Structure 1
Amino acid sequence: MTGFDNWNSTLRANCGHYYATPDQASGNWAGTFDLHQRSGVDVAEIRCPPARIERTRKGILRDDQEHFFLLRQLEGETGIHHAGRETLLMPGEFLLLDSTRPAELSITGQPAAFLSAHLPRALVLETRREMPAAGRKINSAHPLHASLCGLLDAAGADDNADYIFELVPLAFSQAGARPGAGSLGGRTHRFRLIYETLERLSSDPHLSLDILATRAGLSRRQLQREFQDNGTTFTNCLIRARLAVVTGKLRHAARQGARVPIAQIAYGAGFGDISHFNRVFRQKLGCSPRSFFRTCKLNGFLAQDANSLSQPSKTLPPGRGCLFQSNPADG
């Protein structure tokens, strides 16, 4: 934690001339500003007690660099007045700030925490001719919300850099435009968004190629061609996405030492028929769901024993099942 003066200096050094004023009633003011690299861009993790942060015309003129700031609220609430819109940003929601336009952020009552991804404005505008809708927020109901969360996750890799500059302007496209994979230029990025959309919908046992095409903003034929160009099919990707959910839950249950209702997990992942589920599980992973669970559970016990002895972990040969990973390009 750092005092207001140091925090404010760090804010300006990394974000430009935003002028902060602490709430005097908040007492001993202390915040944090930590800078990370995620998805190939600078991402600041900011914690701020009650304060007002302003972006004025004077501050805009003093800065040489222009950015879009993708904000994701983590804790507390932030009132934002920007680009003719007034909104209250709640935990989990996103909002896009344009550094070339005035803004006012108000944090009252409880401290707030948020992430701020710093996107050079020229690179954002390079991918789309349409100006993104600054000042508009995105909540969990938005079709691209989960994809944005993934890009700001701590595990976001540098090879996501091109993707974030295509996805952000698509997510914040002007009202009336439907955000879909068909709007992305690169084939790799299109298929990635298609697969992310499929993953999000995979728990629906009635998910079909036509439904996915509608949600992805493509025709049925265009969607079929995307799968073909990536050497796979809709059915293979759907099975892979559902099995990834099942294996993840089985691993979690094994770590917790919990009893596992395999049929319930399968139904929850979108499988409508248990016989079909058992068959494709064995085909793809080389073992039954119950055997997979027992192997994961035993591996966990061996790892605990090894850690207690401060020796390298000894594990059983996991077989193909324990190495299963979701890979949309693998048919």
Structure 2
Amino acid sequence: MLTTLSTSSLPVDQFRSDLHAVCGSFQVEPAASRDHLRGAVAHEARGGFEFAHVAKDAQSIRRDRSNIARDGAEHFFLIVQEEGRALMSQRESVSMLRPGDLVLIDSAEPSEFTFFGSYSRQLSVHLPRMELQKRFGDALRGGLFMPRSDHTTLAIIAVLAKAFQPNNNPTQSSYLGEAMYGLLGSMLFANGTPARCIDADVGNARLLERAVAYIDANHTDCELTIQRMAVDLKASSRQLQRAFTSLDITPTEYLLQKRLASACEALKQQRMTENKTFISTIAYSVGFNDLSYFNRLFRATFNCTPSQYKDVNADPGPGCLPM
């Protein structure tokens, strides 16, 4: 990791406002419809570069045409994945970012980052659009992905590490800037083809994006199975298993997490409204058709029963929800 960042529980609206102030207008979708997230947004200048630190356990962050119209889109963002994972998409490029990977994002084009509700942290280098266009012209493009194993990626990380060292003087910062632009040119003109901007595992990344959206939309269906989902997505069960390996879980585990997250939301809503809905009704409404299995799984996940969870007076905290 190049940097560290302290986080706290923030209202989603505050996180969105902080992100807007540093990076521009984005839409933030919290995990499991929560109104708070664990996160932080910070800005600093070092070694001649402008940096943004962004951490969150949101479901996704996206920037569409309406967001772009709200600000000047004067920068490209060179993003270093510092912690966690993120599924990035811009134009025709879809990549799963792991710690140490890089991606170049055009703030003037729609983009989306999906975090699946897990904690993820990025370091963003804000690069002036006019300077990049002057240097690289038509070769400049967003969605350019570079894995951490690439030698150019390693060199860029080394330049950034140097920028974060204390006591950089203006002359050194100037040379660091030139080194960064030279390495970006190496990325953009690699092999004379845009194929480098697409992750080699783009098929799995796109299938994962579709599968996650499918489960999010259908997880409350008691009849939903991974086999049925595979048929509906025109994929094999084996392909689905491979796609979910980038999240370090199986499709079945993700499905159960979504059902448990929905159950937690229903239990909290019941507590706030003093509704007398039976636990069994909640279990069935979120996709479980076996009450005893639901109770065992809930206890194993949260170390309490659904009734105990319902009766607490405060949220259990960001580390308690499976999503």
Q: Structure 2 length normalisation: TM-score?
A: 0.51
Contact 1:73–1:89 (8 Å) recurs in 2: yes
Q: Which residue of 1 aligns with 2:165?
A: 155
The runs of 5 or more residues in structure 2 that have no matched partner are: 1-7, 195-323
C-alpha distance 21-139 of structure 1, shift in aligned 2 (>3 A)? same
| SS of aligned partner of 1:167 | helix
Contact 1:139–1:145 (8 Å) recurs in 2: yes
Q: Which residue of 2 aligns with 1:50?
A: 58
Q: Which residue of 1 aligns with 2:192?
A: 176
Residues in 2 aligned to 1:28 and 1:112: alpha-carbon distance in whole angstroms: 15
Contact 1:133–1:174 (8 Å) recurs in 2: no
| SS of aligned partner of 1:14 | helix
| Greater mean deviation of Cα atoms: 114-123 or 28-37 | 28-37
Larger Rg computed on CA atoms:
1
Percent identical: 25
1:73 has 2:73 as partner: no
Q: Give how far 1:56 is off.
A: 0.7
| SS of aligned partner of 2:51 | strand
Q: Give how far 1:26 is off.
A: 6.0
The runs of 5 or more residues in structure 1 that have no matched partner are: 179-331
CA deviation map 1:85-118 (0-9, x unaligned): 1111111100010011111111114210111111
Q: What is the root-mean-square deviation of aligned Cα atoms in Å? A: 2.3
Contact 2:86–2:120 (8 Å) recurs in 1: yes
Contact 1:133–1:173 (8 Å) recurs in 2: no
Runs of 4+ in 1 over 4 A off after TM superposition: 25-28
Q: Which residue of 1 aligns with 2:48?
A: 40
Contact 1:26–1:50 (8 Å) recurs in 2: no
Q: Which residue of 2 aligns with 1:115?
A: 123
Give the letter for the 1:73 counterpart.
Q
C-alpha distance 28-9 of structure 1, shift in aligned 2 (>3 A)? closer
Give the letter for the 2:96 counterpart.
L
Q: Which residue of 1 aligns with 2:233?
A: none
CA deviation map 1:73-95 (0-9, x unaligned): 11111011102111111111000
C-alpha distance 22-122 of structure 1, shift in aligned 2 (>3 A)? same
Residues in 2 aligned to 1:164 and 1:66: alpha-carbon distance in whole angstroms: 18
Q: Give how far 1:27 is off.
A: 7.6
CA deviation map 1:4-37 (0-9, x unaligned): 2222111111111111121135685120112122
Q: Which residue of 2 aligns with 1:59?
A: 67
| SS of aligned partner of 1:144 | helix
Contact 1:3–1:31 (8 Å) recurs in 2: no
Q: Structure 1 length normalisation: TM-score?
A: 0.49
Q: Give how far 1:49 is off.
A: 0.5
How many residues are treated as equivalent by the alignment? 178
C-alpha distance 176-63 of structure 1, shift in aligned 2 (>3 A)? same
Q: Which residue of 1 aligns with 2:276?
A: none
Contact 2:31–2:117 (8 Å) recurs in 1: no
Contact 2:90–2:110 (8 Å) recurs in 1: yes
Residues in 2 aligned to 1:111 and 1:25: alpha-carbon distance in whole angstroms: 16
